[in-house]
Amino acid sequence: MRRAALVAIALLATACGTSEASGPAASTPSPATSASSTPSSAAPTSEPSVPTPSPAPPTETTKTPDPQPAPPPPPVTVPGTPCDITEGACVRLSTNESWLISGGQISYGPVPTTSGMPGYETPVGYHEVLWKVELDYSRDFNMAEMPYSTYFVSNGIAFHEGSLTEPSHGCIHLSREAAAKYFRTLQVGDQVQVTP
pLDDT one-digit tens code per residue, 97-150: 999 999 999 999 999 999 999 999 999 999 999 999 999 998 888 888 999 999
Indicate if the pLDDT at residue 191 is higher than 90. Answer: yes
Stretch among 43-47, 176-180, 189-193 having the lowest mean pLDDT? 43-47
Catalytic residue among 83, 127, 171, 173: 171
Stretch among 19-33, 43-57, 141-155 having the lowest mean pLDDT? 19-33
Domains in the chain with CATH codes = 2-37 (no CATH), 88-195 (2.40.440.10)
In Å, the largest CA–CA distance within the chain is 133
* Distance between CA atoms of residues 195 and 193, nearest Å: 6
Stretch among 31-40, 95-104, 169-178 having the lowest mean pLDDT? 31-40
* Distance between CA atoms of residues 169 and 171, nearest Å: 6
Overall average pLDDT of the 191-196 stretch? 98
More confidently predicted of 74 and 173: 173
Question: Under a CB-based contact definition with an 8 Å cutoff, are residues 126 and 191 in contact?
Answer: yes
Nearest to 100 by CA among 112, 90, 114, 113: 90
Indicate if the pLDDT at residue 37 is higher than 80. Answer: no
Q: Any catalytic annotation for residue 169? A: no
Q: What one-letter code names the amino acid at 131?
A: W
By the 10 Å C-beta count (0-12 exposed, 13-18 middle, 19+ buried), 132 is classed as buried
Question: Under a CB-based contact definition with an 8 Å cutoff, are residues 158 and 142 in contact?
Answer: no
The predicted pLDDT at position 120 comes to 96
Indicate if the pLDDT at residue 179 is higher than 80. Answer: yes
Catalytic residue among 127, 160, 169, 173: 160
Question: Under a CB-based contact definition with an 8 Å cutoff, are residues 143 and 94 in contact?
Answer: no
Q: Any catalytic annotation for residue 90? A: no
The predicted pLDDT at position 84 comes to 95
Indicate if the pLDDT at residue 12 is higher than 50. Answer: no
The predicted pLDDT at position 65 comes to 79
Question: Under a CB-based contact definition with an 8 Å cutoff, are residues 196 and 90 in contact?
Answer: no
